[in-house]
């Protein structure tokens, strides 16, 4: 049984929060939940040619609530009273373009709207207010809403290259998007692992490029697991593409295609190797990551890409055409005579600028189709084409830079918007690419950077979440990774001043998750997970607070090897005669044993040690700050970002204060090796000791060759300083070659006599 359907919601709480039932939150709303109006079995509106298309749209995804058009005929003797009145061209200068007003009165429903999209959004708000009785009558509370979105781009992205989704599955995905007023569907159709759209001129793109002969088993970093030797793939015919685009249009969702260029091209180059720099015949990629194969800058390759645009652009009415532009290595261009000729002919400075040249050619061609080129933020580095748009994924700085150059920007940073990241640190979570993005973190997103001058705010179109599908193989898993995190995004791309997280959580628990249940959507229940919040006020101790985001479900906590009467707060101490001790905890919300979380605490003498100084970790991987290094919990492998501190190319310095001089015996350092994710072991560690913080002396120095390094010590010091040197660059031939690797560190244990 789905857990939320079993909850008893008391009427007093229901009435208290009634204004917050709609998601995203309307700008102005009053709801009287003490008075529901019975509108019978259906809604009736007058037969008006001007609203014919709108009524068809309203009935596309109406959850059983039908709107009927009628015209009374005196000769029939039958008279129907309208109970839904649509008021088009509701146009006042002070109103935003997508403004709507929804009035549910005792006699009828009135929708005032500035365009059909805003009328459709009004209807989605109405659906969220809807209840039915035992006779299936329509019950709606007396309501007045005036509403409009603060951002014009409210999007979700779906990668159909790594894993393929049927047209019916995409329609279901769009239905849920529409219910929460998303209006942009970014359809990722080509990549290294599969070409997914039919081209009449180049049938080899689908006969060859749409299928790979095997697929990586497990995580990219788990090299020993090998491959599933089974042909995998599929593609959309142009007729199916048109079907999806037309269906989305009825939901007032714009579909933006993405055709990757010049990188992520292995599937296309498997069909036409002569279009690449190396011209090497390679298969469609069967593993994940970044590949060196890219489209060449020669005329033959450019003409091919223009031909692709010629066929694809007319299938999509959107003004935007996404060309990718990300993760396109330049190494093969160094030895490509055609690219070297391009550099010389067009006075380019280096191989990297060849990408800028290619994209400017594509930009000019897209303009002939009245399309605006949009690409990932790497296109800034190779020179932005004129009048293009930027989708900022590597943080918000690229988007800020583009906005300051007066380019339209969609914010989609990994920190808040990558829904292929883990959403819980529960060890039972399905395999994901890595990272850590819980619901609350998504809700901290705001599309406009705080340090962006107000004169450039208008260039921020909005925000979008991305669903890359290397580890998402089916529709149920897709929806699990999308919801409820997409609800947080829906709120933040609709409202600059969104409700508090507490209010948001309330409407999710009481209204939105029950709705997802009715739609048989396999959403994540991470919201019911109990969280272990660790702290320490003295060495050798850890305070554990068990909290649960869901106030309706009591938390049950068990200790395997200690006894306690408390259910939520515990103080753990290292026994005096021990150097280390191990304690096992498990916790789950009542009725949710399948979401049980377990944690093993390794108490040591230095657990909770004071850290005087630490090189700042990267903001994306700084969960828990310096305490993460001494909290008694080892980072998990395979990793997710909640357990580790991550550093990007920085030498890491840490200073520990042991409070008094100690006779040291050993130092243990835990690091992560996950080279497929660009995470490398550090090159070297130096250990310094001091009894005066101004007079450190080196006591040990060694290379690091394994994830857990044990370093013997035989000195008396109060202060210990570690200097951890990262690997300089990722080696050639490896994923991310030439880039700065990540260094991830976690538990550091110091012992003494």
What residue ranges do the domains of the chain occupy?
A: 28-147, 153-324+388-516, 529-604, 607-753
* Contacts with 635 (C-beta within 8 Å, 6 or more apart), sequence order: 643, 644, 670, 672, 744, 746, 747
Which CATH superfamily does the domain covering 28-147 fall into?
Answer: Chitobiase/beta-hexosaminidase domain 2-like (3.30.379.10)
Q: What is the pLDDT of residue 557?
A: 66
Q: What is the pLDDT of residue 8?
A: 32
For the segment 693-719, the average pLDDT, to the nearest whole number, is 94
* pLDDT(225) > 50: yes
Percent of the chain with pLDDT over 90: 73
Q: What is the pLDDT of residue 6?
A: 37
**Mean pLDDT highest for which of 186-195, 417-426, 533-542, 642-651?**
186-195
For the segment 50-76, the average pLDDT, to the nearest whole number, is 79
* pLDDT(7) > 70: no
Q: What is the pLDDT of residue 601?
A: 87
* pLDDT(471) > 60: yes
For the segment 481-506, the average pLDDT, to the nearest whole number, is 96
- For the chain, the 3-state helix, strand and coil shares in percent, each to the nearest 5, are 30, 30, 40
Q: Which two tokens stand for residue 451?
A: 């340090």
For the segment 430-442, the average pLDDT, to the nearest whole number, is 93
Residue 498 is given by DSSP the state P
- More confident site: 124 or 16: 124
CA distance 84 to 521: 30
728 burial type by CB count under 10 A (0-12 exposed, 13-18 middle, 19+ buried): exposed
Angle between helices 352-368 and 337-345 (to 10 degrees): 80
Q: What is the pLDDT of residue 575?
A: 81
For the segment 665-680, the average pLDDT, to the nearest whole number, is 92
- Radius of gyration, CA atoms only, the chain: 29
| CATH domain 153-324+388-516 topology | TIM Barrel (3.20.20)
Residue corresponding to tokens 């993005």: 437
Q: Does residue 128 sit in helix, strand or coil?
A: helix
**Bridge partners of 601?**
583
Q: Does residue 402 sit in helix, strand or coil?
A: helix
Domain range 607-753, CATH architecture:
Sandwich (2.60)
Domain 529-604's class? mainly beta
Other CB atoms within a 10 A radius of the CB of residue 470 amount to 22
CA 469, 483, 259, 742 torsion: positive or negative? negative
pLDDT tier at 735, thresholds 50, 70, 90: confident
- More confident site: 749 or 585: 749
pLDDT tier at 697, thresholds 50, 70, 90: very high
Q: What is the pLDDT of residue 599?
A: 80
* pLDDT(749) > 90: yes
From residue 570, alpha-carbon distances to 40, 274, 585 in Å are: 56, 66, 11
- 135-139, 148-152, 583-587: least confident range: 583-587
Q: What is the pLDDT of residues 11-42, one digit of tens each?
A: 334 444 556 799 999 999 999 988 999 999 88
Residue by residue, DSSP assigns 641-704 as TTS-EEEESPPEEEEEEEEEEEEEEEEEEEE--BGGGTB---SEEEEEEESSTT--EEEEEEE-
Q: What is the pLDDT of residue 96?
A: 58
* pLDDT(93) > 60: no
Per-residue b/e over 159-183, b at no fewer than 16 CB within 10 Å?
A: bbbbbbbeeebbbbbbbbbbbbbbb
Q: What is the pLDDT of residue 528?
A: 82
pLDDT tier at 549, thresholds 50, 70, 90: low
Residue corresponding to tokens 């949009």: 374
Q: What is the pLDDT of residues 249-292, one digit of tens each?
A: 999 999 999 999 999 999 999 999 999 999 999 999 999 999 99
Show which residues are catalytic. Answer: 327
Q: What is the pLDDT of residues 226-256, one digit of tens each?
A: 899 999 999 999 999 999 999 999 999 999 9
Percent of the chain with pLDDT over 70: 92
CB-CB contact of 125 with 113 (8 Å): no
pLDDT tier at 432, thresholds 50, 70, 90: very high
Closest CA to 597 of 424, 430, 434: 424
For the segment 311-329, the average pLDDT, to the nearest whole number, is 97
Q: What is the pLDDT of residue 63?
A: 83
Over 289-338, what HEC string results?
CCCCCCECCCHHHHHHHHHHHHHHHHHCCCCEEEEECCCCCCHHHHHCHH
CA 202, 203, 204, 209 torsion: positive or negative? positive
Q: What is the pLDDT of residues 496-527, one digit of tens each?
A: 999 999 999 999 999 999 999 999 999 999 98
E-assigned strand segments in 350-471: 372-376, 389-392, 409-411, 460-467
For the segment 334-349, the average pLDDT, to the nearest whole number, is 96
Q: Which two tokens stand for residue 351?
A: 């191989």
For the segment 582-607, the average pLDDT, to the nearest whole number, is 80
pLDDT tier at 582, thresholds 50, 70, 90: confident
* pLDDT(92) > 50: yes
Q: What is the mean pLDDT of the chain?
A: 90
Over 47-83, what HEC string results?
CCHHHHHHHHHHCCCCCCCCEEEECCEHHHCECCCCC
- 363-377, 442-456, 624-638: least confident range: 624-638
- More confident site: 584 or 421: 421
For the segment 159-184, the average pLDDT, to the nearest whole number, is 98
Q: Are strands 43-46 and 742-752 parallel, antiparallel or unpaired?
A: unpaired
Q: What is the pLDDT of residue 574?
A: 83
């Amino acid at each position: 049984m789905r857990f939320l359907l079993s909850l008893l919601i008391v009427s007093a709480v229901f009435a208290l929060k009634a204004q917050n039932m709609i998601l995203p939150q309307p700008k102005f709303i009053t709801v009287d939940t003490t008075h529901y109006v019975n509108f019978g079995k259906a809604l009736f509106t007058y037969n008006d040619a001007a609203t014919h298309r709108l009524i068809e749209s309203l009935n596309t995804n109406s959850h059983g609530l039908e709107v009927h058009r009628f015209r009374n005929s005196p000769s029939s003797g039958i008279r129907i009273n309208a109970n839904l009145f649509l008021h088009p061209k509701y146009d006042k200068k002070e109103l935003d373009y997508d403004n709507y007003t929804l009035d549910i009165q005792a006699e009828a429903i009135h929708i005032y709207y500035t365009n059909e999209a805003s009328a459709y959004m009004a209807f989605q708000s109405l659906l969220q207010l809807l209840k039915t009785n035992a006779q299936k009558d329509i019950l709606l509370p007396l309501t007045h809403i005036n509403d409009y979105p603060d951002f014009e781009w409210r999007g979700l992205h779906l990668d159909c290259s790594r894993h393929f989704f049927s047209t019916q599955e995409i329609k279901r995905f769009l239905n849920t998007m529409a219910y929460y007023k998303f209006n942009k569907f970014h359809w990722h159709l080509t990549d290294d692992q599969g070409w997914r759209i039919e081209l009449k001129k180049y049938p080899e793109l689908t006969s060859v490029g749409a299928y790979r002969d095997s697929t990586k088993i497990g995580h990219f970093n788990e090299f020993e697991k090998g491959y599933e030797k089974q042909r995998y793939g599929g593609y959309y015919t142009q007729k199916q593409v048109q079907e999806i685009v037309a269906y989305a249009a009825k939901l007032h969702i714009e579909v933006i295609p993405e055709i990757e260029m010049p990188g992520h091209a292995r599937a296309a180059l498997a069909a036409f190797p002569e279009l690449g720099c190396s011209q090497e015949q390679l298969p469609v990629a069967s593993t994940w990551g970044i590949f060196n194969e890219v489209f060449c800058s020669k005329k033959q390759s450019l003409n091919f890409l223009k031909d692709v645009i010629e066929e694809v652009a007319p299938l999509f009415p959107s003004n935007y055409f996404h060309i990718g532009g990300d993760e396109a290595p330049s190494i093969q261009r160094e030895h490509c005579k055609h690219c070297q000729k391009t550099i010389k002919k067009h006075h380019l400075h280096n191989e990297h600028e060849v990408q800028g040249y290619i994209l400017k050619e594509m930009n000019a061609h897209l303009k002939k189709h009245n399309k605006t080129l949009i690409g990932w933020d790497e296109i800034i580095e190779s020179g932005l084409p004129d009048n293009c748009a930027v989708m900022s994924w590597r943080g918000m700085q690229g988007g800020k830079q583009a906005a300051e150059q007066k380019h339209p920007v969609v914010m989609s940073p990994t920190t808040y918007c990558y829904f292929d990241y883990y959403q819980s640190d529960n060890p039972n979570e399905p395999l994901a690419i890595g990272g850590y993005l819980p619901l609350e973190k998504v809700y901290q997103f705001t599309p406009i950077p705080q340090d962006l001058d107000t004169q450039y705010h208008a260039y921020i179109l909005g925000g979008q979440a991305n669903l890359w599908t290397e580890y998402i193989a089916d529709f149920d898993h897709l929806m699990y990774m999308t919801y409820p995190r997409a609800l947080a995004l829906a709120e933040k791309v609709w409202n600059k001043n969104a409700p508090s997280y507490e209010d948001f959580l309330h409407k999710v628990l009481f209204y939105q998750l029950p709705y997802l249940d009715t739609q048989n959507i396999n959403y994540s229940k991470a919201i019911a997970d109990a969280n272990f919040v660790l702290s320490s006020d003295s060495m050798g101790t850890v305070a554990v607070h068990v909290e649960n985001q869901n106030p309706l479900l009591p938390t049950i906590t068990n200790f395997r090897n200690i006894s306690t009467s408390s259910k939520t707060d515990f103080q753990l101490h290292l026994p005096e005669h021990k150097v280390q001790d191990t304690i096992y905890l498990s916790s789950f919300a009542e009725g949710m044993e399948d979401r049980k979380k377990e944690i093993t605490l390794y108490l040591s003498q230095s657990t909770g040690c004071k850290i005087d100084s630490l090189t700042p970790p990267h903001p994306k991987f700084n969960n828990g700050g310096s305490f993460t290094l001494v909290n008694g919990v080892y980072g998990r492998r395979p990793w997710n970002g909640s357990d580790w501190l991550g550093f990007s190319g920085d030498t890491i310095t840490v200073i520990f204060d042991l409070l008094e001089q100690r006779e040291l015996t050993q130092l243990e350092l835990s690091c992560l090796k996950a080279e497929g994710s660009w995470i490398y072991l550090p090159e070297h560690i130096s250990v310094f000791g001091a009894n005066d913080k101004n007079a450190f002396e080196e006591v040990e120095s060694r290379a690091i060759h394994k994830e857990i390094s044990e370093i013997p010590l035989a000195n008396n010091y109060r202060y210990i300083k570690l200097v951890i040197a990262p690997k300089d660059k990722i080696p050639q031939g490896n994923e991310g070659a030439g880039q700065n690797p990540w260094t991830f560190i976690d538990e550091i244990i110091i012992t003494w006599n």
